[in-house]
């Protein structure tokens, strides 16, 4: 589950991780109020206004309707109001959103961290994630902050450091110090950095994050170390033990069809093709998508109906796939093990009849327990459904349907 | 004698009296698997499916001599169940449970270091030695006894492969569903290595998915050890977009090297017979075996 920057920062504060402070606003009026607060609290005329969407590259992205960038510095109240007006309700297109962009429902009006002081300002990069190859958490960091880390990894791999954390011992003091040294810090900033890293790791574990990225990790001119931006990804499997976190989910950021599929316990991912598919099992679902492509079509979705393919789930699956006008054919591929194929076939027939007028070809491939009986049921149903038992037969039928 | 499990294996079921545990234990017993008992904390002393129920894994091992455990415990308690089985000296733990938090598995992986316990899964269909012993949730009838081993991240794709192998006139020695999570007990390479060293396996089907580097690691090991047995490979997710989780928690393209394309290239370079279409697994195996 992805969180917004403002949500992630609130959570970090609970773990005593210093962040760039600010207020999440849904209206221009709220933004005005937020600016006033920031001005008094931090004695600065400047405030940073940041669009809150689930995608990176906001600073360089632009709002379609108004042409404004997703992150802007407001120099006074009028400026902030102007920026808020241009951001709220607009569609922000960034390198990560795709051409459709995402609607900005909230903005974060935040303190300006780029004030002058006793030392130079610096931007670093730091993230914590799972290293699958070792089965350990790893802290990845770099002196090159504020930019795309993939580019840094590609151009200057020697500027990326990694620190693995022992699963039972946790992050040790010497490791936090090593990170601060490698970032070139000393004195007050060094001490602040070790505290920051230690607390951030506690937040990562305590919140069951699957990824926590601070970019930039900022050293202010008064030697404070703060998270200016934060990308937090929570482990969906762990939400059962974080009831408070589950409520932070923003479904307006997700594909509405995917949200609806979730209500039926269907695992659905929308794609841009012309052949819909409904499959039991994630691996077989991906394999079926690959087969559609090899047969000359393009998969319109990933849909795993799980271990219980019955009339209800099949009908819900049909409805969700048929919402997409680009779909020219549907392939149902079920390998019946514990699930009996004749029951799934009956489910398909019932769902088909309930939905009435399906205009596109439906190909049903049922293999496994009672596959022959299932094929017979489909063939004798009088419906315009083509049936197959072998995967290669289903591939041929898809080829014909998209030809 | 195949690998991991055979007709002499003594199986205990953790989460024995629950819905899933009951259903699948019944299926396993029908297949001929030697289920010796089960564990459900608090229900020790009772009898379920004509087998004794124990409060702890240690009690069950002491009384029944069980050496293999299969876990049907809900995700919140599954990590604990794996560690309990390891602590009781179980040699092979098969964890079916889907949806275990990743940080729990970080702990489990570390706990198992230095212990004489092999973990299969979690989030997997289990292990089956065709005609002898089924420790999992797979449909047993699909696995016709023979001399082809299967290693797969995916459940239904394992059944698909076994079915195609049978349709090609061949059969299965042992099929191992290693699981689709980011952290699993037995990675592809370890399972492949077991089958390479098994005198009753002539060739291997290796099925992977996008995400992670396990298939590349296995492929390189196969090449380094001299391609002792032919391997037919398939990677699911050639059409999956980057950054989107495709069902399995581990099935997500992160970098350039965990795409299906990159994995298939490495596997081909390492002498594995890679098929592009999942419909060609059985056909390819028949061709390779004839050579």
Identify the active-site residue in A5, A6, A35, A125. A125
ipTM: 0.91
- Enter the DSSP assignment of B241: P
Cβ contacts of A336 on chain B, cutoff 8 Å: 139
Q: Are B76 and B105 in contact (CB under 8 A)?
A: no
Instruction: Confirm or reject contact between B212 and chain A (CB < 8 A).
Output: yes
Q: Are B239 and A290 in contact (CB under 8 A)?
A: yes
Instruction: Confirm or reject contact between A372 and chain B (CB < 8 A).
Output: no
pTM: 0.92
Q: Which helix (H) or strand (E) holds A300?
A: none
For B53-99, the pLDDT digits (tens) are: 999 999 999 999 999 999 999 999 999 999 999 999 999 999 999 99
For A290-342, the pLDDT digits (tens) are: 999 999 999 999 999 876 667 788 888 988 998 889 999 999 999 887 778 88
The pLDDT of residue A403: 82
User: Which residue has better confidence, B247 or B199?
Assistant: B199
**Band (B1; pLDDT cuts 50, 70, 90):** low
Residue A227 phi, psi (nearest 5): -85, 110
Residues 198-257 of A with CB under 8 A from B: 205, 208, 210, 235-238, 240-241
Q: Tell which of B247, B260, B282 to mutate to test the A interface (max A CBs under 10 Å).
A: B247
The pLDDT of residue A308: 66
Give the Cα separation of B85 and B103 in Å (integer).
19
Of A133, A282, A298, the CB nearest to B247: A282
Please answer yes or no on whether B157 and A367 come within 8 Å at the CB atom: no
Of B153, B213, B249, the CB nearest to A283: B153
Which segments within chain B are labelled E, that is strand? 11-14, 35-39, 47-48, 51-54, 68-71, 92-95, 118-120, 126-129, 133-136, 145-152, 172-177, 203-209, 231-236, 273-274
Give, in degrees to the nearest 5, the angle at Cα A50 between A49 and A53.
155
How far, in Å, are A18, A29, A84, A197, A307 from residue A202 at the CA level? 13, 36, 34, 9, 37
The pLDDT of residue A171: 97
Prior bond of B109 cis (ω within 30°): no
Q: Are B128 and B140 in contact (CB under 8 A)?
A: yes
Within 13 Å of residue A48, how many CA atoms lie on the same side as its CB?
19
Cβ contacts of A135 on chain B, cutoff 8 Å: 105-106, 109-110, 183
User: Which residue has better confidence, A163 or A159?
Assistant: A163
Give the Cα separation of B58 and B77 in Å (integer).
17
Looking at the DSSP bridge assignments, the partners of residue A233 are: A2, A211
| Mean of pLDDT values over A337-365 | 85
Within 13 Å of residue B226, how many CA atoms lie on the same side as its CB?
2
Please answer yes or no on whether A280 and B156 come within 8 Å at the CB atom: yes
Q: Which helix (H) or strand (E) holds B153?
A: none
Please answer yes or no on whether A240 and B75 come within 8 Å at the CB atom: yes
Give the Cα separation of A284 and A137 in Å (integer).
30
The pLDDT of residue A31: 97
Distance from CA of A135 to the nearest CA of B (A): 6
Of A271, A290, A304, the CB nearest to B247: A304
Give the Cα separation of B36 and B13 in Å (integer).
8
Q: Are A137 and A164 in contact (CB under 8 A)?
A: yes
For A57-114, the pLDDT digits (tens) are: 899 999 999 999 999 999 999 999 999 999 999 999 998 888 889 999 999 999 999 9
Looking at chain A, the number of H-run helices and the number of E-run strands are 13, 19
């Amino acid at each position: 589950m992805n969180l917004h920057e403002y949500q992630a920062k609130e959570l970090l504060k609970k773990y005593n991780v210093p962040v760039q402070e600010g207020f999440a606003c849904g209206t221009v009026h709220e933004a005005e109020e937020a600016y006033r607060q920031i001005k008094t609290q931090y004695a600065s005329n400047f405030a940073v206004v940041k669009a809150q969407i689930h995608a990176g590259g906001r600073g360089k992205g632009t709002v379609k309707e108004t042409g404004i960038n997703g992150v802007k510095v407001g120099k006074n109240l009028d400026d902030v109001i102007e920026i808020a007006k241009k951001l709220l309700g607009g569609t922000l297109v960034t390198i990560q959103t795709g051409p459709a962009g995402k609607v900005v429902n909230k903005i974060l009006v935040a303190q300006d961290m780029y004030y002058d002081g006793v030392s130079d300002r610096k931007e670093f990069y730091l993230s914590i994630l799972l290293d699958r190859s070792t089965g350990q958490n790893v802290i990845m960091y770099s002196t090159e902050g504020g930019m795309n880390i993939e580019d840094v990894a590609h151009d200057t791999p020697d500027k990326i450091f990694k620190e693995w954390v022992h699963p039972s011992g946790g992050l040790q003091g010497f490791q936090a110090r090593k990170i601060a040294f490698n970032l070139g810090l000393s004195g007050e900033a060094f001490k602040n950095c070790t505290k920051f890293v230690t607390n951030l790791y506690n937040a990562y574990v305590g919140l069951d994050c699957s990824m926590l990225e601070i970019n930039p990790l900022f050293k202010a001119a008064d030697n404070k170390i703060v998270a200016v931006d934060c990308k937090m990804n929570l482990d969906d499997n762990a939400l059962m033990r974080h009831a408070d976190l589950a409520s932070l989910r923003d479904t307006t950021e997700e594909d509405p069809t995917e949200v609806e599929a979730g209500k039926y316990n269907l695992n659905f991912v929308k794609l841009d093709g012309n052949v819909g598919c409904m499959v039991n099992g994630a691996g077989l679902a991906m394999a079926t998508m690959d087969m559609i492509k090899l047969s000359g079509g393009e998969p319109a979705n990933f849909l795993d109906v799980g271990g219980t393919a019955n009339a209800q789930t099949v009908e819900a699956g049909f409805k969700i796939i048929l919402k997409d006008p680009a779909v020219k054919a549907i392939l149902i591929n079920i390998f019946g093990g514990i699930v009996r194929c004749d029951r799934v076939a009956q489910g398909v027939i019932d769902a088909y009849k309930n939905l009435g007028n399906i205009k596109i070809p439906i190909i049903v491939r049922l293999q496994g327990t009672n596959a022959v009986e299932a094929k017979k049921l489909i063939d004798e149903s009088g419906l315009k459904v083509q049936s197959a038992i072998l995967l290669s037969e289903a591939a041929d039928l898809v080829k014909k349907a998209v030809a | 004698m195949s690998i991991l499990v055979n007709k002499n294996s003594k199986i205990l079921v953790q989460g024995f009296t629950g819905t899933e545990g009951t259903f699948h234990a019944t299926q396993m017993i029908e297949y001929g698997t030697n289920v010796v008992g089960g564990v459900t904390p608090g229900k020790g002393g009772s009898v379920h499916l004509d087998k004794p129920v124990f409060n702890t894994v240690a009690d069950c091992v002491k009384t029944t001599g069980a050496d293999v455990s299969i876990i049907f415990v809900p995700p919140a308690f599954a990590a604990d169940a794996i560690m309990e089985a390891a602590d009781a000296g179980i040699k092979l733990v098969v964890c079916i449970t889907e949806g275990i938090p990743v940080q729990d598995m970080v702990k489990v992986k570390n706990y198992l270091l230095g212990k004489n316990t092999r973990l299969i899964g979690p989030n997997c269909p289990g292990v089956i030695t065709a005609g002898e012993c089924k420790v999992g949730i797979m449909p047993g009838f699909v696995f016709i006894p023979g001399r082809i081993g299967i290693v797969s991240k995916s459940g239904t794709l394992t059944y698909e492969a076994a079915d195609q192998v049978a349709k090609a006139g061949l059969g299965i020695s042992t099929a191992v569903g290693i699981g689709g999570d980011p952290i699993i007990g037995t990675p592809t390479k370890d399972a492949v290595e077991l089958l390479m060293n098994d005198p009753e396996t002539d060739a291997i089907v290796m099925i992977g998915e996008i995400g992670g580097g396990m298939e590349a690691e296995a492929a390189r090991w196969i090449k380094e050890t001299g391609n002792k047995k032919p391997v037919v490979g398939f990677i699911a997710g050639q059409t999956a977009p980057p950054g989107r989780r495709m069902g399995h928690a581990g099935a997500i393209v992160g970098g350039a090297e965990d795409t299906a394309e990159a994995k298939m290239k490495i596997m081909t370079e390492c002498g594995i017979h890679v098929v592009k279409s999942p419909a060609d697994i059985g056909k390819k195996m028949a061709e390779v075996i004839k050579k």
